[in-house]
Amino acid sequence: MILSLTVYTATALSMAGLGWHVAAREQHRIKQDGSQLPFLTWEVALAIIIYVLVAAFRWQTSWDYNQYLSYYMSMQSLGEYSRENYEPGFEFLTTLMAQSGLHFACFFAFWAALQITLLYYAMRHRKLLLPWVALCIMFGPYYMQWMSTIRQAVVECLFVVMVELIIRRKFWLYLLLTIVATSIHKLSILMLPLYLVPRIPVKNAKRWMPFVFLALCFALGAFPQWIKWIFDQMGQLAQTMGYGHYYRLFDSGVPGYVFRNNYGTTRLCPLLLGAFVIWHYPSLKWHYASTDPCLPALYRFALLYLGYVSLMGNTTPYLLRPGDLMRCTFLVMVCYLMSYLYHQRKWLTLAVVALPAFYYTYYEIFKAVVTPGSIYEPELYHTFLF
């Protein structure tokens, strides 16, 4: 427990401190000559290195992690795949690293480096958000979940970068990146229809409309039987996309893969954060839209993400993954909100927002400690170094 608290807290605070320093330095430079700092400043580079080292030295942290480790080690020692349906891009990179004799820490470091570098690159014109991004990643659910779903996490971070391509109407580059992402995780093909989301016209949108949208999704998600009926009709499609083994688990009623009711803090806290984002969005738009033309699109994707997870919250974790493609847009909007509250000195509201944004890591550590040997054990920080 002490190791976990030390590593996670120190990582979050050091990355946040570096983010604060580079943001302040850029603001000073803008006041002097109106120019921004380059993307890869020494603060950003050091923050990326810290994140990558912590991720690389982490060990035996989840079922998914152990599957990736087993796959990598079997390829390295036997030259054979332990799983047949990995995507070609992921398979190629894994085989290349394994046959080069690299330690498995290098394998996990590589994917962690892609995650954080892509996300920080998306923040290159939003450096004022970097302290909040670092805190949300390490104290919120992002880091622990990214260390498990490493392929999808890369795609989630990439999508924030691709939102800029949508706004700039760079469709062919967007399509190329989608193809590349699909070679890492096949679910990325769903990013193609997402290109149209910011293009959908919305006239005279009222402030209450997003609240009604989320409430409707939440109410429908409370009765997932209709979703299960639709999913039952999609068995062949799941088989075609390579998810047939998951569908068979659902159909067999294996515990942990069935539809259920779930209203815990992990589900309710994002909704609370989303309510604050919706309420303050007019102020966020007034303050930041002039410097960030992507803000309305990020807001739309964040709402769509919240709506989807509310709709699918009582189904299986695997049906939530399509929505997770947009999860980092929600992260950006929460960070915009916290930055706004901080600079407006709205301390009480900031404290209320920080609680659901930063509770996750400590809550998971607490559950792992009070229930040793449980499913929460992998949330603790383990390392192969000692």
Segments in 197-264 forming alpha helices (H): 209-221, 225-232, 235-240, 244-252
346 backbone φψ class: left, alpha, beta (φ>0; ψ -120 to 50): beta
Is residue 315 predicted with pLDDT exceeding 80? no
152 part of a folded domain: yes
Q: What is the predicted pLDDT for the residue at 242?
A: 59
Do residues 212 and 176 both lie within one domain?
no
Do residues 54 and 34 both lie within one domain?
yes
Do residues 130 and 53 both lie within one domain?
yes
3-state SS assignment for residue 224: coil
Listing DSSP states for 195-214 in one string gives TTGGGS---S--TTHHHHHH
**Chain segment 268-314, per-residue pLDDT in tens:** 899 999 999 999 999 999 999 888 999 999 999 999 999 998 888 77
264 backbone φψ class: left, alpha, beta (φ>0; ψ -120 to 50): beta
- Which position has the token pair 């796959």? 71
Of 67, 55, 61, the C-alpha closest to 105 is 55
Percent of the chain with pLDDT over 90: 54
Exposure letters 193-224 (e unless 16+ CB within 10 A, then b)? ebbeebeeeeeeeeeeebeebbeebbebbeeb
Do residues 183 and 329 both lie within one domain?
no
Global pTM reads 0.89
Local confidence band at 11 (pLDDT 50, 70, 90 cut-offs) = very high
Listing DSSP states for 36-54 in one string gives PPPSS-HHHHHHHHHHHHH
Do residues 276 and 379 both lie within one domain?
no
**Chain segment 127-152, per-residue pLDDT in tens:** 999 999 999 999 999 998 898 889 99
Task: Give the chain's domain count.
Answer: 2
Do residues 143 and 77 both lie within one domain?
yes
Question: Which phi and psi (to 5°) does residue 375 adopt?
Answer: -70, -10
Q: Where is pLDDT greater, at 46 or 31? A: 46
Q: Where is pLDDT greater, at 114 or 368? A: 114
Of 245, 270, 247, the C-alpha closest to 328 is 270
Do residues 344 and 381 both lie within one domain?
no
**Chain segment 174-224, per-residue pLDDT in tens:** 999 999 999 999 889 999 999 999 988 877 677 788 899 998 988 888 776
Contact 337, 353 (CB under 8 A): yes
Radius of gyration of the chain, Cα coordinates, nearest whole angstrom: 21
367 part of a folded domain: yes
Question: How far from 73 is each of 79, 221, 230, 235, 331, CA to CA, in Å?
Answer: 9, 40, 39, 32, 34
pLDDT, mean over the chain? 86
Q: What is the predicted pLDDT for the residue at 136?
A: 96
Do residues 96 and 165 both lie within one domain?
yes
Q: What is the dihedral of CA 353, 356, 358, 360, to 10 degrees?
A: -170
Local confidence band at 381 (pLDDT 50, 70, 90 cut-offs) = confident
108 part of a folded domain: yes
Q: What is the predicted pLDDT for the residue at 83?
A: 59
137 part of a folded domain: yes
Q: What is the predicted pLDDT for the residue at 257?
A: 45
Contact 195, 301 (CB under 8 A): no
Local confidence band at 154 (pLDDT 50, 70, 90 cut-offs) = very high
Structural domain including 341 reads 202-224+259-356
**Chain segment 243-280, per-residue pLDDT in tens:** 555 555 555 444 444 555 566 777 789 999 999 999 99
**Chain segment 51-61, per-residue pLDDT in tens:** 999 999 988 77
Q: How far apart are CA 111 and CA 146, in angstroms?
A: 10
Do residues 58 and 181 both lie within one domain?
yes
Q: How many helices (H) and strands (E) does the chain have?
A: 20, 0
Q: How far apart are CA 70 and CA 83, in angstroms?
A: 10
**Chain segment 74-103, per-residue pLDDT in tens:** 888 877 665 567 888 998 999 899 888 899
Do residues 2 and 55 both lie within one domain?
yes
111 part of a folded domain: yes
22 part of a folded domain: yes
HSE toward the beta carbon, residue 280, CA cutoff 13 A: 23
Is residue 238 predicted with pLDDT exceeding 70? no
237 part of a folded domain: no
Question: Which phi and psi (to 5°) does residue 58 adopt?
Answer: -70, 150
Do residues 291 and 384 both lie within one domain?
no
Do residues 17 and 156 both lie within one domain?
yes
86 part of a folded domain: yes
Percent of the chain with pLDDT over 70: 86
